[in-house]
Amino acid sequence: MAADRAFDQTKTVLPAELARGVYMRNAPSLQALKLMHLMVATAGGRMADPIRHEIRLADIRNIDGMKNHDRESLTPLFEELRAVVIREGDPSDDEQKVIIGGLLDHAVLNRKDPISGDTLLSWFFGRMFLEMAENSNHWAILDRQTVFHLSSKYSVLLFQHIASLANLDRMNAKTFTVPQLRALLGVPEGKLSRFSNLNTWALKPAIDEINHLSRLDLIATPKKIGRTVASVTIGWQVKDDPTPARRELQGHSTGRKARRNGSVETVAIAFPATGGISYSPHWLELKRAAGCNKDNDLIASDFRRFCREKGIPLNVENIEKTFSGFCKSSGKVS
C-alpha cells in the first residue's frame, strides 16, 4: 500500500493500528505529530524494514505547513517521539493481548556538511512499530497537507483515527466512551476532566478544523446517562466537493479561524511564492490534469519566472487558470 504510493507526495500511508493507537502517556505535541507523519511518509514501503531512514533538513523546510525548523528545534521533537508510549489492545479484556511499546528506537541529527551545507537526519523505528507495520492488514491513507496544516494535536489525532475508518464498508460512525475519547485525543490525566471542558477546548475545535480543512465532515453526538455524558458517537461522511478545503489549504493560515467562523471572506488562493509543489495537492492536480510531467520544483520555478516576466501577481484572481495553461504549454518531457 505504501510502496504503491511512494511517488504521491500528497498522501501518507499509516498502519491503521498506529492511526487508531491510544497514546497512554507522553502524548506528542502538534509539531512532533507532524514530524512523525513525515517520518512514516519518508519510509514509505520500507517502513517495516529494520533499516535506517534518512531525510535532509532542507527537505523539511520546503514543506508547506511545517515550521522552518533547524536542528535545535527538531531535537526536542525527536525526544518527544522517543518518549511516546503506545498501546495496542484493551487491558480490561482478559481475552485480548496487550502490547506496549514505542514508535522510535533512536535518531541521529548530523552536523552540517561543510561542503553541501546539508544536515542529514536519520532514525530507526522501534520494534513495536516494525511489527505493527509488517503485520497490518488495514491502512489509513491520509491527505498529507491536511495533517501539516492542522493547528492542534487534538485535530491531528482525531483526523488520523477517523481517516483510518472512513473507507470501511458499512461504517460511518463510531462510539467512544469519554475515557476512550480522552485517550484518543491525548488529553493528560487531570486536564479537561469535565466533559464540558473536553468538548469546548478539545473535541469541538478539532471537529470544526477537520471539517474546514479536510475531505471529511464530522459530527459528534453525546449520549447521556442521567445528567452525565457517558459516550460520544462521531459520525463522518466524505465531502461531495472538497474544493473549498483544498483552496483553504493553499491560503495563508492568518485569519483561518475567522474564515472558519464565517466572520471574514473566503481566502483568495495564491501560487506558492517559494519552493516546489510536491506537497501542494491542489497545484499538483492542476498540473496532472494539464498533462504535464515536468519536475515539480522546476515547473514551479519556471511558472514564477513566467509570471515575473509578464507582470502577473501570484495571487491574481485567475492564477489557477494561468497555471493550467502554462502547464499545458510545457507539455510532457520525453
CA–CA dist 120, 281 (Å, integer): 26
Residue 44 lies in a domain: yes
Measured CA to CA in angstroms, residue 249 lies from 31, 64, 144, 164, 322 at distances of: 17, 9, 11, 21, 19
Q: Are residues 41 and 163 in the same domain?
A: yes
Q: Are residues 163 and 302 in the same domain?
A: no
Q: What is the pLDDT at residue 254? A: 55
pLDDT tops 50 at residue 326: yes
The domain in which residue 304 lies consists of 268-330
Residue 65 lies in a domain: yes
CA–CA dist 201, 191 (Å, integer): 11
Q: What is the pTM of this model?
A: 0.75
Q: Are residues 189 and 126 in the same domain?
A: yes
Coil, helix or strand at residue 299: helix
Q: What percent of the chain has pLDDT over 90?
A: 48
Q: Are residues 193 and 302 in the same domain?
A: no
198 vs 264: which has the higher pLDDT:
198
Write the pLDDT tens digit of every residue in 215-260.
Answer: 999 999 999 999 999 999 999 999 888 877 877 776 666 556 666 6
Q: Are residues 172 and 62 in the same domain?
A: yes
Which positions ≥6 away from 72 have C-beta within 8 Å?
none
Write the pLDDT tens digit of every residue in 84-125.
Answer: 888 877 788 898 888 888 899 999 999 888 787 889 999 999
Q: Are residues 18 and 142 in the same domain?
A: yes
Residue 244 lies in a domain: no
Mean pLDDT along residues 290-307: 91
- Give, to the nearest 10 degrees, the angle between helix 153-163 and helix 204-213: 60
Q: Are residues 197 and 323 in the same domain?
A: no
Domains held by the chain: number: 2
CA–CA dist 148, 179 (Å, integer): 27
Of 194, 223, 238, the residue at which a domain comes to its end is: 238
Q: Are residues 142 and 288 in the same domain?
A: no
> Which triple of cell numbers denotes residue 113?
556538511
Residue 91 lies in a domain: yes
CA–CA dist 183, 176 (Å, integer): 10
pLDDT tops 80 at residue 264: no
Beta partners for residue 229, in sequence order: 224
Q: Are residues 218 and 73 in the same domain?
A: yes
Q: Are residues 138 and 210 in the same domain?
A: yes
Q: What is the pLDDT at residue 313? A: 87
Residue 257 lies in a domain: no
Q: Are residues 102 and 50 in the same domain?
A: yes
Q: What is the pLDDT at residue 263? A: 42
Mean pLDDT (the chain) is 86
Q: What is the CATH number of the domain that holds 98?
A: 1.10.10.10
Q: What is the pLDDT at residue 38? A: 93
